Amino acid sequence: MTQRTRRALVTGGGSGLSSGIAAALAAEGFAHVAITYRESDPAATCRAIEDAGADASATKVDFGGDAAAAAAALRRLVETHGPFDTLVHGVGAITVKRFVNLTLDDYARIFDANTRSAVLAAQAVLPAMRESRFGRIVVFGGNGSAETRPYRGFSLYQASKSALVAFARTLAIEEAQFGVTVNVIEPGDIRDKRQTREDALSQESSIPRGRPGSFEDVADVVRFLIAPERDFITGAVIAVTGGLTQADGRNASHS
């Protein structure tokens, strides 16, 4: 399989980390990069994908809404623009509140966005990956979610991301026989999701590395994991944090 014929689906690509990652995949020689969006205007991401040399498409999918509707939208997307050999699942939600201030509605919203969304996305792309005996899936955990690291104010967020890691690592061993790898990236505290590495290098941060992170730092690891020759790395969890191991001080005391 050559990258010139490959097709990628990047969820949540209308904004945030996924937007820059989608354009980075296009620059890798993918033939088509499809993105999903919910509210953000996807036009800028599509232009960046096309400028990088790939065809682009954008489909509105509300992963946090009705599950059947989201699954149907994903099926239509795969039928129209697939099959996809690569899934980068960037959809998610974060709420920073002490548990005493959280509600069951918060619970449903956070788990639907962070955990159920990955299940729906994987169900949509796996049949074609299995049939072709090749696939690359990358999902985003939270900082320390693989080891259930606790932070004040992050009880439901960390729980949902830890559940996502467990799902991804189990999927990895189930799908390995079909040539499908499933890996997790744990981004650190990247506040400006569109910032380039060059811009980040000119700034200071309390992160041990001494600078803030950028989408390019994460995109580097995505590119590594989805390469065709990377068939022996699956079920891995890779931190892209600049050495950050604690909750950001701006969040730690949040009530």
Q: Which CATH number fits domain 3-252: 3.40.50.720, 3.30.70.100, 3.90.230.10, 1.10.10.60?
A: 3.40.50.720
Report residue 119's pLDDT band, with 50, 70 and 90 as the boundaries: very high
Is the pLDDT at 49 greater than 90, yes or no? yes
Residue with token string 């920073």: 96
Query: Looking at residue 253, what is its pLDDT?
Result: 54
User: Can the peptide bond before residue 83 be classed as cis, meaning omega within 30 degrees of 0?
Assistant: yes
Mean pLDDT of 47-71: 97
Mean pLDDT of 208-221: 86
pLDDT in tens, 128-177: 999 999 999 999 999 989 999 999 999 999 999 999 999 999 999 999 99
Report residue 194's pLDDT band, with 50, 70 and 90 as the boundaries: confident
Q: Are 66 and 116 in contact (CB under 8 A)?
A: no
Query: Looking at residue 169, what is its pLDDT?
Result: 98
Query: Looking at residue 207, what is its pLDDT?
Result: 82
Report residue 2's pLDDT band, with 50, 70 and 90 as the boundaries: very low
Question: Cα–chain-centroid distance for residue 240?
Answer: 13
Q: Where are the domains of the chain?
A: 3-252
